[in-house]
Structure 1
Amino acid sequence: MKKLIIEMTDPLGVTAMELSPDGKHIVVIAWTGRANALMLIETTTWETRLLVAPQFLPGWTGPIQPLRVHWISDALLAVDFSDGHCSVVGFDGRRGRVLGGHFMRMIAPDKPGELPQWAIVSTQGFLVGTGIRRINIVTGEKVTVPIGLPGDLVSAVFDRSGRLRAARTRETKWFTPGAKITNWYRHDEASPWQQVAQASMTEDLWTPLGLPDDSDTLVALSREGRDTWAMFDFDVATRKLTNLRVGHPTEDLIGTQEDAGLNAIQATTHGLKPTTYWFDARWDHLQRSIDKALPDTVNILRGNPQGKVLVFSYSDRDPGRWLFLDTEKMSLREVSGSRAGIEPGAMRPMQMLSYAAADGLTIPAYLTLPDDGPAKPRPMVVYIHGGPVARDNWIWDFDVQLLAAAGYAVFQPQFRGSSGFGRKFEHAGYRQWGLAMQDDVTAGVKAMIDQGIADPSRICIYGASYGGYAALWGLVKTPELFKCGISLAGVTDIGERFTDWSDTNSTEAGREWLRFAVGDINTMAAQFQAVSPEKHAARIRVPVLLAHGTEDKRVPIGHSKRMASALKAAGASVETHWYEDEEHGLRSIANIQKFNAALLDFLDRNIGPASPMAAAASAPSN
């Protein structure tokens, strides 16, 4: 086996890279400081040039910029632009034929060696349900794809000839419970649709992923008869799942990759750290070679296992970098980093651990310690993720590194209800706002104190969205643990989630999910009131920081404003930061910088002192 050689070059800050089918070019979406630009790298000379610059036009609220890019041949690109149009772009950089609203995929040619000419696009935007068509990128000929299904088209599966053969739809009725998710299949576009599976919004239903080799067997993502999401075959004739392709007993499957024939060749599971599985021996060999050369990283491979391969490598200390692998020479050249100015060696590692909840359930967690000398009890920030059916990940996290650089230990409990760890773990958090989910946070904080990691006199709890709720409720439920609390766009009244003007309850599907996962306001109003921070603001005796965007549609700013009023009425110490034109979270770099400065100052005053690095670390590089 040839020895792998690593050659380093100066990094550039980019957000995405794609390798051309022939391996001769790499297209790059790069951040210019104001918007995205499209760049092209030639992989023999490594010459880099601007392909498409962002446009700033009068009357537009934002720049016209490339958002996503896809190779449609060795010399042509399909680019999704922010003006809602997907266009063909050549090496001259000019926008050519408009394909539609959003590129979906190319159709493989009938004969080997022929260039693909037909693309599949959605006609209006990124949502599949807006309409689909096939378009010839050379002649411009358009063919509308027949759908003819009730409800909204959620996802679509095509065969290698580009025919729509499987689909998932969602049917809801205004103010009528019982939204349905349905999986459909047809042998070809002239055949009638067959309903092959149906479930309510709150039930598990397998998801069609692919249709390899134009067969009548689907590849499906399912956790039927098991705890975690895994990949199966689905036999349309018998309407049954068969042949487990890949699965893990405690980790959900989160991603797959297909070859040109739409055969699944790779899958990734999502435990505390992702694991990649290849079904192709050549890819598996390359993966093991790259992982050996780049240890302690997650390495994502795309390209030709017998030619040129683009590797994206990231870790808890590295935001990610793209490398170019020549499989003939077995040489690896770094092309670019994803963020300029980040030195991985100066970042802090994210430890993976677990602890026992009050009822014995094992809770996974992450812990990041500052670089401040020998082990000792430290000031600690308990950082709670949103969702709550979401999770943190083993990645370079700006917020975590910011806090660690400021001298704080950062503890991230993946409490029950978090995703990625199986159905039982996720469902254990349903209807447990302020109850078992919060008890998991409490158990984790106590474990950090007992292990000598956290200074019990200097612990603050912080989160956004659901995390903001958990931060505030922690101040009420376990006041002895925390010296301060920070809520960004947090829920403060659970019952209000059913009546506020949010995008969550604006549809019957959203309201049904709320009733299932959070609880039924008609029967649980008393429980909601018992665990809503706004209703118990008088019990909070430590400083609170509230931050919120004025245009938040997910958790309207009224939640934080009412909480601020209740805290002030109770005589509590509260500071507020309202951000104009921001939605659910902060997007403006200026506002992120302002919030980070306020956050570090608040922590410094309440559980600090922070390290001198804090001020320098408060601004993101991109």
Structure 2
Amino acid sequence: MGKYGRVCRLALLAGAGWGVFACGAWGGPPVPTQKVTLSATLTGDAADLFGSRETIWGASLSPDGSKVLFLTSNQRSGTQLMVASSAGGRPPTQILQSDGTPMTLRWCDWADDSRIVCDVTGSDVVNAELVGFQRLMAIDVDGKNSKLLSQQGSMNDALRISQFSADVIDWNEGRNGKLLMARDHVPEQTTGTRLANTADGLGVDMVDTHSLAATKVEAANPSAIAYIGDGKGAVRLMATEALSSGGNLSGVRKWFYRRRGSRNWEGFSDVKADGHGLRPLSVDYASDTVYCLDDRDGRDKLYRVALDGSMKTELIYADPKADVDDVLRLGRQARLIGAATTTDQGSVAYFDPEYQKLAGALSKALPNLPQIEFVGSSADETKLLLSAGSDTDPGRYYVFDKTTKHLNEIALVRPQLENVPLATMTPVTFKAADGTVIPAYLTLPPSGPKKGLPAIVMPHGGPASHDNWGFDWLVQFFAHQGYAVLQPEFRGSTGYGDDWMLQNGFKSWRTAIGDVTDAGRWLVAQGIAAPDKLAIVGWSYGGYAALQSNVLDPDLFKAVVAIAPVTDLDVLRSESLGFTNHNLVSDFIGSGAAITDGSPARHAAMFKAPVILFHGTTDQNVGVGESRLMNDRLRAAGKQSSVVIYPNLDHQLPSGEIRADMLRRADAFLRQSMHLAAAGQAN
């Protein structure tokens, strides 16, 4: 389950040190001439192979196109920033590393050809509450001259926390290392005769990432929560969200805009907590417009709105069956080149004729890798960084030179799976009990029988989310082990319009969970699943769905695996106490009988299937206490239950070793619970 935008303004955050970072040359294995191979093929079992973290993600091309930066991982929770030649042929250089406790590298990008900006996150305990925080830093391409880009100030004199301290809103085309940054300004108390900083709230500065010299562009505003620039150094839109007298967010974001050359803010739109209203995405400088999403006629559509004072609105793209799910941006100005929708295998519409033509040509050049994405480009767009993958290919990165038409493969996302047979993911549909047709993805083992299998229903997290066609390490592991896996897009999922969302997966849990249990019945009715070999596995809201399905129908599933699950809706509500979004969280969850009926921990006596739970102790999305509570309630009711707690890991369990351990334990639990032979042995 994702964040609800938790923001805390109530206490001082303990100091976060930077000692977890180190610089130096990479001492990894030698690299072949044409590929950056970051780790040797693992020789462990299937849990090691599939639980291993990605070896490359977050890749970005330098403005001059000569270098690629990317993040990579060890098999624990550490993350490294690497830089390599875009032409290949030389080992990458390690620039930074974090061990994940408490700081984690989340993303990095180029300020210019010699300077890199990185986003780091962590957590700390404040007044007995686990609180997350984020900072921006800059470092030279040789690993030297690291500086904190977030607003500086005295921690001892600060009057409130700065949780999410800075963001880049304009990369300034990768020139001279100067960026337009939204920065959180924290007021300080006055000590003696010294007048402390009185600025409070989110402002915008032009920051030199080399020297830290900053020029104020927008004064700090305590109500501001976001700004959007035009790619040319001007701020054109601002969002505000006021706090009530009780210190809680209102749930309504007010957007304002400026006409070109003006300093006056004019009203643009109001966006409610449910997402209704014009939601600005990016400014197109050439046409003096802003691209927006808006929910009209029950589906998200892409619009373009004039910023000249007329508010002229033009529909750019819509799908009659699905929401516009995402937009595609490219270049140092992050200009919008297309949009994606939620369909069987995903659909992309390109608005830029050049990239529409190029995408078609690349699809022919890479026929087995239909998921092609333009990840980045050089400043002049003569060189492109792209990724390509499929359901049976975890993905690989390429650099394409428009001038020479040369496509150079530079890295594999999961090299350890290069020669491992992977399973095909097939879009299917099934009927719910009320006749509604539910879309889903079915993955069968890559070899062997296709009927009478041990099978898993795997509901997604969220609940405001959906699954996508493509490689999924969790699905592929279980398919490799001989299970059929069905991922239902139950009602309450996003991507299919307002009617499909209902009230949300918590308030409308009976319908959402009913679709999940109907998915299991469909597997049995189709002969895919043996009735006595049907299990359910879920993560986050999916873990909640896995547990709650056994309240709705205790006889259907024979084993339950719940990872970081919600188990009691009142406990989930209490986890937002002391945060400014508490009222929004409370409204989202609901009240009354739905809380009692919809909390699996309150119905432990109904369970018949054995349960295993997994949870990390620093999970800020769903507290680890929820799994402990569920386990205690089940055991008190005389049910078979166990809980595995992983210290110092967050909601995603971002450790290759831990994920492998979880997969190994989950597979063994399912086999024992459903009386299955070990993988590779006949039943």
TM range (shorter): 0.7 to 0.9
Say whether the 8 Å CA contact 1:107–1:116 is kept in structure 2: no
Q: 1:409-453: CA deviations, max 9, x gaps? A: 111111011112222211364554541111111222222222111
Q: What residue number does 2:110 align with?
A: 71
Query: Which residue number in structure 1 is paired with residue 144 of structure 2?
Result: 94
Equivalent residue for 2:441?
Answer: 366
Given that residues 241 and 250 in structure 2 are in contact (C-alpha distance below 8 angstroms), is that contact kept between their aligned partners in structure 1?
Answer: no
Equivalent of 1:567, from 620, 634, 652? 634
Counterpart code for 2:637: A
Q: Deviations over 1:484-524 (max 9, x none)?
A: 212222222234433x3x13x54453433442x432x2xx2
Secondary structure of the corresponding residue to residue 595 of structure 1: helix
Which runs of structure 2 are paired with 1:139-288 in the superposition (5 Å)? 141-147=213-219, 149=221, 151-153=223-225, 155-173=226-244, 174=246, 178-187=250-259, 191-202=263-274, 204-213=276-285, 217-223=289-295, 225-236=296-307, 240=311, 242-253=313-324, 254-259=326-331, 263-288=335-360
Letter in 1 for 2:179: A
| Displacement after TM superposition at 1:247 (Å) | 2.1
**1:117-156 alignment runs, 5 A limit:** 118-123=178-183, 130-137=202-209, 141-147=213-219, 149=221, 151-153=223-225, 155-156=226-227
CA distance in 1, matches of 2:468, 2:88: 37
For 1:566 and 1:217, locate their aligned partners in 2 and report how far apart those are by CA, in whole Å: 56
> Could you tell me which amino acid in structure 1 is paired with residue 341 of structure 2?
T
Deviation at 1:341, TM superposition (A): 0.6
CA distance in 2, matches of 1:172, 1:279: 39
Distance 1:77 1:42, change over 3 A: same
Which of 100, 104, 107 is matched with 2:168 structurally?
104
Instruction: Indicate the structure whose relative CO is greater, using CA pairs within 8 Å and at least 6 residues apart.
Output: 2
2:502 equivalent to 1:427: yes
Moved more, 554-563 or 480-489: 554-563
Candidates 68, 71, 93, aligned match of 1:29: 71
When residues 137 and 557 of structure 1 are mapped into structure 2, their CA distance, relative to the original with a 3 A threshold, is closer
CA shift digits 1:290-313 (9 cap, x unpaired)? 112223420012326973222211
Partner of 1:39: 82
CA distance in 1, matches of 2:59, 2:541: 33
* Shift in CA distance, 189/558, structure 1 to aligned 2, threshold 3 Å: farther
Aligned pair count reads 587
Distance verdict in 2 for CA 1:20–1:612, change over 3 Å: same
Partner of 1:492: 567
Corresponding residue SS for 1:399: helix
The answer (yes or no) to whether the contact 2:181–2:204 under 8 Å persists in 1 is: yes
Instruction: Tell me: CA distance 1:574–1:510, structure 2 relative to 1, closer, same or farther (3 Å).
Output: same
**Counterpart of 2:371?**
298
Deviations 1:228-250 (A, max 9, x none): 22221124566756211122222
Partner of 1:546: 613
Moved more, 387-396 or 78-87: 78-87
Contact 2:260 2:308 in 1 (8 A): no
Q: CA–CA distance in 1 between the matches of 2:377 and 2:408? A: 15
- Residues 294, 108 of structure 1: CA spacing in aligned structure 2 closer, same or farther, 3 A cutoff? same
Aligned-partner residue type, residue 574 of structure 1: S
Deviations 1:121-149 (A, max 9, x none): 24469xx9654310245665421221454
Greater shift in the superposed pair: 238-247 or 312-321: 238-247
In 2, Cα distance between equivalents of 1:510 and 1:69: 31
The amino acid across from 2:372 in the alignment is N
**Corresponding position of 2:135:** 84
User: Which letter maps to 1:292?
Assistant: K
Assess, with a 3 A threshold, how the Cα gap between structure 1 residues 561 and 61 changes in structure 2: closer, same or farther. Answer: closer
Where does structure 1 differ by over 6 angstroms across 4 or more consecutive aligned residues? none
Q: What CA distance in whole angstroms lies between the structure 2 residues aligned with 1:39 and 1:137?
A: 19
Q: TM-score, normalised by structure 1?
A: 0.85
Question: Structure 1 residues 51 and 380 mapped into 2: Cα distance closer, same or farther (>3 Å)?
Answer: closer
TM-score, normalised on structure 2?
0.78
Decide whether the 8 Å contact of 2:560 with 2:611 is kept in 1. Answer: yes
Which residue does 1:620 correspond to in 2? none
Q: 1:619 corresponds to which residue?
A: none
1:356 Cα deviation (Å)?
2.0
Specify the alignment match of 1:4 in structure 2: none
Q: CA deviation at 1:257?
A: 0.9
The match for 1:393 among 468, 471, 479 is 468
Shift of 1:324: 1.9
Which amino acid is the alignment partner of residue 121 of structure 1? M
Q: What do the CA deviations read for 1:341-389 (whole angstroms, capped 9, x no partner)?
A: 1126511111111222222322111111113423312111111222211
Which region of structure 1 is more displaced relative to structure 2, 93-102 or 337-346? 93-102
Over 3 Å counting, the alpha-carbon distance change for 1:420 and 1:514 in structure 2 is farther
Aligned counterparts of 1:436 and 1:45: Cα–Cα separation in 2: 52
In the alignment, structure 1 residue 596 sits paired with structure 2 residue 653: no
Ranges in structure 1 where 5+ consecutive residues have no aligned partner: 1-6, 615-622
Matches of 2:96 and 2:680, distance apart in 1? 35
Q: Secondary structure at the match of 1:145?
A: strand
- Identify the range of structure 1 (79-88 vs 281-290) with the bigger mean alpha-carbon deviation: 79-88
2:645 — aligned with what? 578
SS in 2 for 1:285: helix
Query: 2:156 — aligned with what?
Result: none
Does residue 532 of the first structure (1) align with residue 599 of the second (2)?
yes
| Kept after mapping to 2: 8 A contact 1:201/1:509 | no
User: Using a 3 Å threshold, how does the CA distance of structure 1 residues 201 and 429 change in structure 2: closer, same or farther?
Assistant: closer
Distance in 2, matches of 1:385 and 1:262, equals 30
Quick one: structure 1 residues 140 and 374, their matched pair in 2 at CA, closer, same or farther if it must change by over 3 Å?
closer
Does the aligned pair in 1 maintain the 2:373–2:387 contact within 8 Å? yes
C-alpha separation between the residues in 2 aligned to 1:437 and 1:45? 48
Deviation at 1:475, TM superposition (A): 1.6
Partner in structure 2 of residue 318 of structure 1: 393
C-alpha distance in structure 2 between counterparts of 1:261 and 1:178, whole Å: 32
CA distance in 2, matches of 1:118, 1:365: 46
Change (3 A) 1:320 1:608: farther
| Cα separation, 1, equivalents of 2:644 and 2:490 | 28
Residues 428 and 176 of structure 1, relative CA distance in 2, 3 Å threshold: closer
Task: Report whether the alignment pairs 1:330 with 2:435.
Answer: no
Contact 2:229 2:235 in 1 (8 A): yes
Instruction: Give 3-state SS (helix, strand or coil) of 2:252's partner.
Output: strand
Does structure 2 retain, via aligned residues, the 8 Å contact 1:227–1:250?
A: no
Judge which range, 174-183 or 437-446, deviates more: 174-183
Following superposition, the deviation at residue 76 of structure 1 comes to: 3.9
Deviations, residues 193-222 of structure 1 (Å, cap 9, x unaligned): 222222442351221122222665322121
Q: CA-atom RMSD, angstroms?
A: 3.2
Look up the equivalent residue of 1:529 and give its one-letter code: T
User: Counterpart amino acid of 1:287?
Assistant: A
Q: Contact 1:325–1:333 (CA<8 Å) still a contact in 2?
A: yes
CA drift of 1:61 comes to 4.4
Gap regions ≥5 residues in structure 2: 1-32, 39-54, 122-133, 151-164, 186-199
Paired residues of 1:227 and 1:249 also in contact (CA < 8 A)? no
Assess, with a 3 A threshold, how the Cα gap between structure 1 residues 32 and 493 changes in structure 2: closer, same or farther: closer
Report the alpha carbon displacement of residue 272 of structure 1 after superposing the two structures with TM. 3.6
Among 486, 505, 509, the residue aligned to 2:581: 509
**Contact persistence 2:111–2:171 (CA under 8 A):** no
* Cα displacement (A) at 1:458: 0.8
> Residues 117 and 190 from structure 1, CA distance in 2 versus in 1: closer, same or farther, beyond 3 angstroms?
farther
